[in-house]
Amino acid sequence: MKETLSLLKQEGYKIGFTTSNNQVVMNEFLTNHSINIFDYSHFSFSPLSKSKDISSFLKKYDLKKENVVYVGDELRDIKAAKKNGLFCIAVSWGFDSVELLNTGRADKVITQPKEIVDVLSRI
């Protein structure tokens, strides 16, 4: 993932995340893994309101839906992204199985991080 994130930055993409993880712990993780390169971040205290978190994230950074691609590893990520009208990529190396992710009707399901760059180059 580190290489893919670096490549996205090199190609001029702005990258961000929304998470219900603790901000201090998350920042420490990103720093320790040399991937503290995000342009946007949104920390939530409720893991059950992913759709609202995405909506808040878009408003906070004044992002247009048509300019955002959401990458998620859980069915709730995919459902929340679709509810917010976002193009959505489901990743198979995360929390939920590919079979479960497919029920969320992501725009694309991928198996390798490098595929993110390929998908973005086609949309």
pLDDT at residue 47 in the model:
64
Which CATH architecture fits 2-122? 3-Layer(aba) Sandwich (3.40)
pLDDT at residue 44 in the model:
86
Mean pLDDT of each 10-residue bin along the chain, 123 residues long: 93 92 93 94 81 93 96 94 97 93 95 95 90
**Quick one: which of 68, 6, 71, 61 has its CA closest to 37?**
6
pLDDT at residue 49 in the model:
77
The domain ranges of the chain are 2-122
pTM of the model: 0.90
H or E stretch including 70? strand 69-72
